[in-house]
């Protein structure tokens, strides 16, 4: 019966090689995070903006080793949910992990959609929008669905082009920073300033790191593309670790440049437009519409990758029999999971139309940290489930360190605002209802 099902249902197309996978990882990490979160993180930490991004990278890097071992053992779509299912065998827990990861992707995509209309498109058009931003955001999500339905090859090549463009935007910020510093602009003293007005320094650092972690979790999306990669067991370790290293270096350089040129309170006030503020301070004559266009394409790329991830996660869960198998239906000609694409797009449209996504960035980080804690434990549990093929194996100490640090950053002692836990509780309650 299984053989008949396998033969009758078309499989996903393996088109992603090491180069495309590397750009996928880099593009996902440096998208909405650095273009839209810089100002918000500055509001939590102060001038030492580079520190939370560096610490977030360290935590993410440790957790990445757990993902590399698991994707090597089980090179299939579904990521954290699949690993949870194999480790613990509790369908409710598996469903909640899948729901959390899917929600994080959709929330991130919806955040990008709002940044698309509310910040960068508005700047590109001279500060005004004829059509309401919410309508633009919905149209944006439908366009992403069309690209996703077209095929993973088209989607991944679109990611290549957009990743190169968004990298150029960040290089502009870094070059402007170097030029401005050479001319004597900037205040190096800001780089060690930690905002302690309302909390202890360690709370400011941990709170900002917990938020910055949201910008570093893009590597998790890539494991959901395993079934569309050529030789995933071989190419994943190098592509993921290299991509994370490149993204972390860019984040730290952009953060240093931002702190040198603009006071943290001004960055915080600018919110998702913080990098526009940096560019104005460092190169007043630079045409802002050029950077606005780059920022526009950057958030498009981030949203596209997140929608790819969410739809493949739903597809993978259907194949594992944890949700109805109809969600695993593959289009006979395009060979894309069209039912899961339609389902995730519908949820994203509802989110972007009805919810202020900007308050959910920290909540998404909270939920993902909980998921990463589970994954770090799962990799140790699954050591008792050997597979026949060779695969990457993480040093045992790393999953332990990853579980402890992720659990700490998800806990109230990290200094997280109480409202994030309230929103998380609502989201999890929705997940329980969907399970029912």
CATH number, domain containing residue 337? 1.20.1740.10
Instruction: Indicate whether 379 belongs to any domain.
Output: yes
Work out how many domains the chain is built from and give that number: 1
Nearest CA among 192, 102, 201 for reference residue 430:
102
- Domain membership of residue 4 (yes or no) is no
Instruction: Name which of 207, 274, 203, 188 is nearest 56 in CA terms.
Output: 207
| Bridge partner residues of 38 (DSSP) | none
Residue 7 inside a domain? The answer is no
In a domain, 9, yes or no: no
Q: What is the pLDDT, as a whole number, of residue 4?
A: 40
Note down the domain range covering 87. Answer: 15-435
Phi, psi torsion values for 140, nearest 5 degrees = -60, -45
pLDDT of residue 419: 82
Q: Give domain status of residue 91, yes or no.
A: yes
How far is the C-alpha of 64 from the C-alpha of 309, rounded, in Å? 17
Look at residue 407 in the predicted model and tell me its pLDDT.
95
Specify the DSSP class assigned to residue 6.
H
Q: How far apart are the first and last CA of the chain?
A: 29
Distance, CA of 256 to chain centre: 22
Residue 80 placed within a domain: yes
Distance CA 28, CA 239 (A): 13
Report yes or no on 10 lying in a domain. Answer: no
6 domain-assigned: no
- Tens digit of pLDDT at every position of the chain (436 positions): 344 444 455 666 676 778 888 887 887 787 767 787 788 889 889 999 999 999 999 999 999 999 889 988 887 766 788 889 899 989 889 888 888 888 777 877 877 787 777 778 888 887 676 777 778 888 888 888 888 887 666 666 776 788 888 889 999 999 998 988 888 888 999 999 987 666 778 888 888 888 888 777 667 767 766 777 777 778 888 888 898 999 889 989 999 999 999 999 999 888 778 898 999 999 888 888 899 889 888 888 778 778 887 888 788 778 877 778 888 888 777 778 889 999 889 888 887 777 665 566 777 788 889 999 999 999 999 999 888 888 889 999 999 999 999 999 999 988 888 888 887 888 788 778 777 7
pLDDT at site 257? 94
């Amino acid at each position: 019966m299984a053989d008949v099902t396998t033969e009758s249902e078309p499989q996903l197309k393996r088109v992603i090689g090491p180069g495309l996978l590397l750009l996928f990882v880099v593009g996902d990490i440096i998208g909405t995070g650095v273009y839209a979160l810089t100002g918000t993180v500055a509001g939590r930490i102060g001038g030492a903006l580079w520190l939370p991004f560096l610490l977030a990278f360290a935590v993410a890097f440790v957790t990445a080793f757990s993902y590399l071992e698991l994707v090597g053992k089980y090179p299939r779509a579904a990521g954290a949910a699949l690993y949870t299912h194999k480790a613990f065998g509790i369908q409710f827990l598996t469903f909640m992990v899948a729901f959390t990861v899917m929600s994080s992707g959709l929330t991130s995509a919806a955040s990008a959609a709002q940044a698309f209309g509310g910040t960068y498109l508005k700047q590109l058009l001279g500060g005004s929008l004829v059509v309401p931003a919410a309508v633009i955001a919905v149209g944006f999500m439908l366009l992403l669905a069309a690209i996703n339905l077209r095929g993973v090859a088209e989607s991944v090549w679109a990611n290549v082009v957009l990743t190169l463009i968004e990298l150029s935007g960040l290089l502009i910020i870094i070059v402007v920073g170097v030029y401005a510093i050479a001319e004597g602009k900037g205040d190096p003293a800001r780089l060690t300033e930690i905002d302690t007005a309302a909390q202890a320094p360690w709370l400011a650092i941990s709170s900002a790191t917990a938020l910055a972690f949201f910008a570093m979790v893009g590597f998790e999306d890539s494991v959901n593309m395993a079934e569309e990669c050529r030789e995933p067991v071989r190419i994943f370790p190098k592509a993921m670790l290299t991509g994370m290293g490149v993204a972390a270096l860019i984040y730290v350089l952009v953060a240093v440049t931002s702190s040198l040129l603009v006071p943290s309170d001004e960055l915080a006030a600018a919110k998702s437009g913080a990098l526009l503020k940096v560019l104005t301070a460092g190169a007043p004559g630079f045409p802002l519409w050029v950077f606005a266009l780059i920022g526009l394409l950057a958030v498009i790329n981030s949203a596209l990758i997140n929608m790819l991830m969410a739809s493949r996660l739903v597809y993978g869960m259907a194949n594992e029999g944890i949700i109805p198998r109809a969600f695993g239906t593959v289009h006979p000609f395009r060979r894309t999971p069209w039912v899961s694409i339609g389902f995730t797009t519908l949820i994203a449209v509802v989110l972007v139309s009805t919810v202020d996504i900007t308050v959910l960035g920290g909540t998404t980080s909270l939920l993902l940290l909980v998921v990463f804690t589970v994954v770090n434990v799962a990799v140790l549990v699954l050591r008792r489930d050997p597979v026949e093929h060779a695969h990457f194996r993480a040093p045992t100490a790393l999953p332990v360190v990853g579980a402890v640090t992720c659990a700490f950053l998800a806990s109230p002692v990290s200094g997280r605002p109480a409202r994030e836990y309230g929103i998380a509780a609502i989201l999890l309650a929705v997940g329980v209802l969907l399970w029912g």
